[in-house]
Amino acid sequence: MENEVRIAINSDQDIVIARQQGRTLASKLGFNGSDLTVIATAISEVARNIVEFAGKGELALTPIQQSHKQGLMVVAHDDGPGIPNIQLALQDGFSTTASLGLGLPGSRRLMDEFTIVSAVGKGTTVTMRKWVRG
């Protein structure tokens, strides 16, 4: 099994690096063309959230396995300001900046599993999983 990949997210350049690394790892795990794009897009959105709201953080890409299923887990973590109202942040079009407000709800649609844990003043962790379709 492939090893975990960790990427420090500090700037918009790291967003590009993160999604390219995500695509490379997902490709090795057997994901097909449109899933590769879907995964790279979701990684781009959660990495962008780190840069935009926390300034810096980390992304971990880990191969996962469940019975015969292969998958990829993406964990985006930051020690930023946290999200006061997660329900609101998961609504389409809700944004505290000039963005489209689709990052979190959109990533949730793109991936198979999506959880978010956030504490105000402490930080945010987004965990997403996608399984290779058999």
- Residues 46-105 touching other proteins, rule: CB under 8 A, are 48, 92, 99-100, 102-103, 105
* Residue 12-41 contact track with other proteins, rule CB under 8 A, x = bound: xx-xx--xx--x---------xx-xxx-xx
Phi, psi of 104 (to 5 degrees): -75, -55
Count of residues interacting with other proteins (CB under 8 A): 27
Cβ proximity to other proteins, 75 vs 110, nearer residue: 110
Partners of 59 in the β-ladder: 7, 76
Q: How far is the CB of 33 from other proteins (least distance, A)?
A: 5
Q: How many residues does the chain have?
A: 134
Cβ proximity to other proteins, 31 vs 77, nearer residue: 31
* Residue 113-132 contact track with other proteins, rule CB under 8 A, x = bound: --------------------
Cβ proximity to other proteins, 40 vs 72, nearer residue: 40
Contact 133, 32 (CB under 8 A): yes
Residues that bind other proteins (CB under 8 A): 12-13, 15-16, 19-20, 23, 33-34, 36-38, 40-41, 44-45, 48, 92, 99-100, 102-103, 105-107, 109-110
